[in-house]
């Protein structure tokens, strides 16, 4: 199964509307430096074991620079999630949470 790519504007719109899980797959140290509002931190290396704990709703996946996100979103899609890759936090044009 393939995960679609969402541009930041569409991802932001969906985040504002609610009903999605925003998933940060970076390390806990990277997450602590700042993250998207409401994001849940689940490092990429723990994804396969912990994905079952995610709510059954669309998942917006991001990483730091855009390399890990496509892999993680694709993995989630193959597990049956409605998953979207929203790119890397370095290119995110909206506010972050500390």
C-alpha 98/C-alpha 93 separation (Å) is 15
- Which listed residue (63, 72, 76, 83) is catalytic? 63
> pLDDT per residue over 42-72, tens digit each?
999 999 999 999 999 999 999 999 999 999 9
pLDDT at 3: 85
State yes or no: is 21 an active-site residue.
Answer: no
> pLDDT per residue over 20-44, tens digit each?
999 999 999 999 999 999 999 999 9
> Distance between the two ends of the chain, CA-based, in angstroms?
34
pLDDT at 2: 72
Averaged pLDDT score across all residues of the chain: 95
């Amino acid at each position: 199964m393939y995960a679609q790519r969402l541009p930041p504007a569409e991802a932001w719109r969906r985040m504002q509307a609610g009903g999605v899980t925003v998933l940060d797959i970076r390390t806990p140290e990277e997450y602590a430096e700042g993250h998207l509002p409401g994001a849940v931190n689940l490092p990429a290396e723990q994804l396969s074991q912990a994905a079952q704990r995610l709510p059954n709703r669309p998942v917006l996946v991001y990483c730091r620079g855009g390399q890990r996100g496509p892999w993680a979103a694709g993995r989630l899609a193959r597990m049956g999630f409605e998953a979207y890759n929203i790119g890397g936090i370095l290119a995110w044009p909206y506010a972050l949470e500390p």
